[in-house]
Amino acid sequence: MDLTLKIWRQKNATSKGKFVTYKVNGISPNSSFLEMMDILNESLVVKGEDPVAFDHDCREGICGACSMYINGRPHGPDKAITTCQLHMRRFKDGDTIVIEPWRARPFPVLKDLIVDRTAFDKIIQAGGYISVNTGGIPDANAIPIPRANAELSMDAAACIGCGACVAACKNASAMLFVSAKVSQFERLPEGKPEAAERGQATVAEIDRLGFGN
């Protein structure tokens, strides 16, 4: 596959960025999106240019580090996957792909496609945890938890805090992240007692950090 990439390049947090167009040729449809980026970077290094900086870690769809806004959508065109699980077969030969960093004031660009997502850690630090001392491992059925609650809590816990909700939201709001974190604990007996305070503290923090509404 031959592709045209329009990638946001920004030297550092203080410099003004711009889009730079690159051509990549002979990309296998079976390579992942990040592998395609690796191939581009190798060619840039050979030419003595600065490779495109992007976040990535596990490359198996778990960590959510690979924050790329691809053709108007976080993590690209597929549903419920991270960028590392996106494959080039989702694109057509000759396509132009626009790759941007997450855009939100609390997520400042550090370099190229890498943004600082510390804001999410600050939200968690503000109260997104359980302070109850749960002690050692209790007996298996000592605390009964209804199946439905356990499932809902697990659904909420599926949020890996990648920031795609903020990137996708037209208001750059972090409500989805906070609601996932609040619901995850609120459904369980250990998290229930502090549910109200947790909600208030984390919402106050998203407002303070300057996320949208």
- Please give the distance of CA 98 from its chain centroid, rounded to a whole number: 18
Q: Which residues pair with 21 in a beta bridge?
A: 6
Q: What's the closest the beta carbon of residue 206 comes to another protein, in angstroms?
A: 7
10 vs 85, beta carbon nearer another protein = 10
What is the crossing angle of helices 147-157 and 175-186, to 10°? 150
Q: What's the closest the beta carbon of residue 211 comes to another protein, in angstroms?
A: 6
* Cβ atoms < 10 Å from Cβ of 34: 18
193 vs 210, beta carbon nearer another protein = 210
**Selection from 204, 209, 206 nearest residue 177 by Cα:** 206
Locus of tokens 């996320």: 211
Q: What's the closest the beta carbon of residue 49 comes to another protein, in angstroms?
A: 22
Rounded to whole angstroms, the Cα distance separating 50 from 48 reads 7
Q: What angle do CA 4, 9, 13 make, to 5 degrees?
A: 160
Burial 137-166 (b: 16+ CB within 10 A, else e): eeeeeeeeeeeeeeebbeebeebebbbbbb
Q: What's the closest the beta carbon of residue 205 comes to another protein, in angstroms?
A: 10
**Selection from 9, 24, 169 nearest residue 99 by Cα:** 9
55 vs 100, beta carbon nearer another protein = 100
Q: What's the closest the beta carbon of residue 34 comes to another protein, in angstroms?
A: 20
Judged by phi (left if over 0) then psi (alpha if -120 to 50, else beta), residue 193 lies in: alpha
Q: What's the closest the beta carbon of residue 50 comes to another protein, in angstroms?
A: 21
77 vs 138, beta carbon nearer another protein = 77
53 vs 168, beta carbon nearer another protein = 168
Token couple for 95 = 């396509």
Binding site for another protein (CB under 8 A): 6, 8, 19, 69, 71-73, 98, 100, 103-106, 168-173, 175, 200, 203-204, 206-207, 210-213
8 vs 33, beta carbon nearer another protein = 8
